[in-house]
Amino acid sequence: MGIQNIIIFTKDEEELVETLKQAIKDKYTSEYTLIEKHKEALRSLATSISLYPSLLDSQRLSNQKRTMESLLDTLCSRSIPDMILHIPTKAILGRAFTIAKINFFIMLWYIVRDRDEYASFLDMLLSCIASNVFMLTAEEVYTSIIEDDTLALNIRHNAAYLLARTWEHRLDYGVAEFAPILLNLWKARERLIPNFGTMMGFSELCMLSEHTSPLWLDFLQRDTITEDEVYAVEEFIFDLSFEEIVFVRDYLEKHNKITVSRDELPSILKKTHIPEYQGQDPRELYRSFRDRKINSRFRARSGLQGPKKTLEEYLMCFLLSSRSMVEY
């Protein structure tokens, strides 16, 4: 990809940014200048990324040859104590670029959110933020799978392939090219506000499944689905930890109650609020993934009951175990 062909924004993102700039240009000149400044900073970062060689091409350094295959082998090596020190510079800069884009669109959101004449931009900006948050979260899903040396090598190798492709084509395509099943799942979760009720999650699961890939149903309906995978689905749906879900169910039984409302949960769990995705900050989804990942790793190390991976990891492991280097 040559420097002249750098793609900072998708077509929809570019149209949104330009339309917003023109809308505020004459009325809010300082904000217009700020947008231009930050857009140029993004272009400079994208230019820096493009100067690094393609991760998909072969390179020779002294008597060593680096290829896509050698990169995948390195990423999946059991001897690597910390993958961050073995990630190509292009990938690290690319991650920073994604975060910079998220912050750019959040800046635009702050510029227009309290100005009624620009209310039509709010949902579009949140959509742009969400798409880039999905990119960041997908990278972390792949990385988590690669770092788990208890998994079969072919699963980790396939995850490394998808991760390397995402690193390479970040400026061209984004997450939609490489993880549509995750993208659809996260979009469906954004639209879902759990009712909690009996804490069984049946209605929530049905609503979630209406907007996802048939592969999602293949994952749920297979005979070999494990108890931990079911727990991971519940965590994803309710955005509560396994331990919190168990606590609420025990509370219902102890107090002879059949259902629980969203308004009751904060006092039961001694929390200030229960997160909602719909219409809120899309970064909440990344926060949810990180929380579930940290909790699952702790259970795995401590031998505690509950999911040892996030739902996203279980789902991708299911897909990658039976397919070889296929984009989802």
Could you read off the pLDDT tens digit of each residue along the chain, which spans 328 residues? 444 467 889 889 999 999 999 999 989 999 999 999 999 999 999 999 989 988 888 777 777 777 888 888 888 886 666 677 778 899 999 999 999 999 999 999 999 998 999 999 999 999 999 989 998 999 999 999 998 989 999 999 999 988 988 888 887 655 455 578 888 899 888 888 887 877 878 888 988 888 888 889 999 999 999 999 999 999 999 999 999 999 999 999 999 998 888 888 888 998 877 766 555 788 888 999 999 999 999 999 999 999 999 999 999 999 998 765 444 4
Main-chain dihedrals φ then ψ at residue 265, nearest 5 degrees? -60, -45
Please, what is the Cα angle at 189 between 129 and 8, to 5 degrees?
Answer: 20
Query: What's the pLDDT score for residue 240?
Result: 92
- CA dihedral sign of residues 155, 293, 86, 183: positive
Is 328 within a domain?
no
Q: What is the domain extent for residue 215? A: 3-321
Query: What's the pLDDT score for residue 63?
Result: 73
Query: What's the pLDDT score for residue 72?
Result: 86
Quick check: 308 and 301 in contact, CB under 8 A? Answer: no
Main-chain dihedrals φ then ψ at residue 61, nearest 5 degrees? -120, 110
Q: Work out the number of other CB atoms within 10 angstroms of the CB of residue 302.
A: 7
Query: What's the pLDDT score for residue 104?
Result: 97
* CA atoms of 322 and 36, how far apart (whole Å): 47
The model carries a pTM of: 0.88
Q: Which helix (H) or strand (E) holds 65?
A: strand 64-66
Query: What's the pLDDT score for residue 325?
Result: 47
Query: What's the pLDDT score for residue 74?
Result: 84
Q: Quote the radius of gyration of the chain (alpha carbons, Å).
A: 22
Domain count, the chain: 1
Is 260 within a domain?
yes
The β-bridge partners of 60 are 65
Is 61 within a domain?
yes
